[in-house]
Amino acid sequence: MTSLGIGLAVGLVVLLLALSAGIETSATTLATESGVDLIGVSENASSPLAGQFPPIQGAHPLVGRLLSLDPNVATASPWLVTDLVFGNASLRAAAFNDSVPGGWGPTESGTVGWIPSDNGGIQTPDLYNGTGFTYPGDPHYAGGSFNGPATHEIVLDQGLANVLHVGVGDSVWLGAAQPPSPSALPGWYANATGFRVAGISGPFWLVPSALLAFGYLSEIQQIIGGATPTTDYASLVLIHLVDPTTIDSDQSRLAAAFPQLTVFTLASILGAIQHVVNLYRTFGDLIGLIGIVVAALFTTTVLQMSVDDRSRELALLRAIGHSRPAVGAMVVEEALLLSLFGLAAGLPIAYVTGYGLNQYLRNLLAGLPTSFSFVSFDAGVLADGLLLVLAVGLLAAIAPAARAMQLPVAEELRAP
């Protein structure tokens, strides 16, 4: 039971260490494989990890200016990330027939407006069905007039397509806001913009949402009112470099040339992630420390009782020639054995719990690649677990070993 108690405490600490190691390692791998070297956001944005972004104006011409200013910029892709409302054909038919069933209504979803052909080198979601976007560039933008032909093409991820019960070739309607009531649905559809589903994609970890749609930048701007030469909104600009080893000089050059942007490097993004991980790690370390202290006190109590119960045996060992340090070493050895047995029990507990936690979190957050793991039992984590076990054993043995070495031999042998 003592070993099991130690095992539970050590298993908790190892699990917390494995959780922070898994998030840190996987986040670094994802950021490196994304192809995104620099992220430009509005000068008023605090972080590229923020949930809301102040709009960047003049998104379309910004691309050409970035490419011409820095020859090391291979791709500059403006993204408009916003929430829009989606309705399908079934709901539309019911709305105009005044027969909307209870519980039916448009679906709110995250939406990305981009220029599909300008994402070279940047990781985008895999297309599972359909041909995807047909036209290069952004036809509706039309060089800044915003009166070119609208493609009315959109790609939905599997989660949103399932919710809307649509497939490739079906129609969906997009609006900026939810209708206030079912009776307002005909008016909502009349003002909404119709799109044809050009493809069904997988989920996308870069915008972690189970419901996500992708459309041409100017056509998404049109819905939110940002499709004019004086607005031309985007949320951020993703930049892929020809040579990422010069990322610091590229950041400085672009930041100086575009004061309306705050340019973040991959290192700063990972640093923000690391800051969050460290915060949770500190909290986890406090919990783990409490568990380790309780385990050490529990082990000390058990060993102290063991020394008292076997005091005559220990006195007899002293009487036949064992030294005080030798007797104390026996108590320390017992404490270390209990701790190692605890490690043998705690590691499987931590591993099984970690596996279940990883599966739960992966199901909770859609869009993560298969290689992403929230838990990592690497050599460093296992080494930390071993050191904790040895520390528990040694700390727990101090008082009982001192007690064993100080036992009065003659009194213990004469005791009844």
Half-sphere exposure of 99 (CA within 13 A, CB side): 4
Give per-residue pLDDT as tens, 193-204: 999 999 999 888
- pLDDT of 369 reads 67
- Same domain? For 291 and 190 the reply is no
Average pLDDT over residues 250-259: 91
Label the pairing between strands 73-88 and 236-241: antiparallel
Average pLDDT over residues 298-315: 83
- Same domain? For 287 and 362 the reply is yes
- Same domain? For 202 and 341 the reply is no
What residues have CB less than 8 Å from 93, skipping those under 6 apart? none
Q: Inform me whether the pLDDT recorded for 411 exceeds 80.
A: no
Question: Would you say 215 and 153 are in contact if contact means Cβ atoms under 8 Å apart?
Answer: yes
Q: Which candidate, 268, 249, 290, 235, places its Cα nearest to that of 57?
A: 235
Q: Inform me whether the pLDDT recorded for 341 exceeds 90.
A: no
- Give the Å distances, CA to CA, from 116 to 62, 120, 128, 363: 16, 9, 16, 28
- Same domain? For 13 and 97 the reply is no
Residue 32 resides in a domain? no
- pLDDT of 282 reads 74
Q: Inform me whether the pLDDT recorded for 218 exceeds 90.
A: yes
**Where among 203, 228, 259 does a domain terminate?**
259
- Same domain? For 240 and 354 the reply is no
Residue 40 resides in a domain? no
**Where among 259, 281, 306 does a domain terminate?**
259
Average pLDDT over residues 177-189: 92
Residue 342 resides in a domain? yes
Residue 41 resides in a domain? no
**Where among 235, 259, 283 does a domain terminate?**
259
- Same domain? For 219 and 340 the reply is no
Question: Which residue range(s) make up the domain with 228?
Answer: 57-259
- What average pLDDT does the chain have? 85
Q: Inform me whether the pLDDT recorded for 394 exceeds 60.
A: yes
- Same domain? For 106 and 189 the reply is yes
- Same domain? For 295 and 388 the reply is yes
- Same domain? For 228 and 187 the reply is yes
Please state whether the predicted TM-score (pTM) of the whole model is above 0.85. no
- pLDDT of 276 reads 63
Give per-residue pLDDT as tens, 33-62: 788 899 998 876 665 555 567 889 999 999
- Same domain? For 303 and 347 the reply is yes
Number of domains in the chain: 2
